[in-house]
Amino acid sequence: MNFIKTCVREREIKWPYHVNMRLRGRLISREAILDSVDTYEIIEEYSKDKYRSSYLILAKHTGKPIHILVSPDTKSNNVTIITAYRPEPWKWEKAFKTRRKT
């Protein structure tokens, strides 16, 4: 988590084209992701993701939850923001850290 937070604070971030389009469509600004760095909490880990490990992070911006999927690259000293969205209450438990069982 420290590596991720450091990269975000130092703006060592890759923003792929598709994530920029998704953020715009979901009305989430880059600033919301950047400004909420102090609230980041890893809630899920995907160690066998396609290219390298990624982490689902819960962040709070202006008191509202945001889920951010991040892939750290320790060799290149940066993180890639894969996607971000506002979690839907019917899919997540109250604290937005645990998926509801269906």
Tens digits of residue pLDDT in 49-68 = 777 899 999 999 999 999 99
pTM for this entry? 0.91
pLDDT recorded at residue 59: 97
**How many CA atoms lie within 13 Å of 84's alpha carbon, on the beta-carbon side?**
30
Please compute Rg for the chain using Cα positions.
13
Select from 8, 13, 87 the least CA-distant residue to 43.
Answer: 87
DSSP E strand stretches across the chain: 13-14, 41-46, 54-61, 64-73, 78-85
Residue 48 pLDDT? 78
* CATH 3.30.2310 holds for 2-85: yes
Mean pLDDT of 28-41: 96
Q: What is the largest CA-CA distance in the chain?
A: 40
Residue range 10-28, pLDDT digits in tens: 999 999 999 999 999 999 9
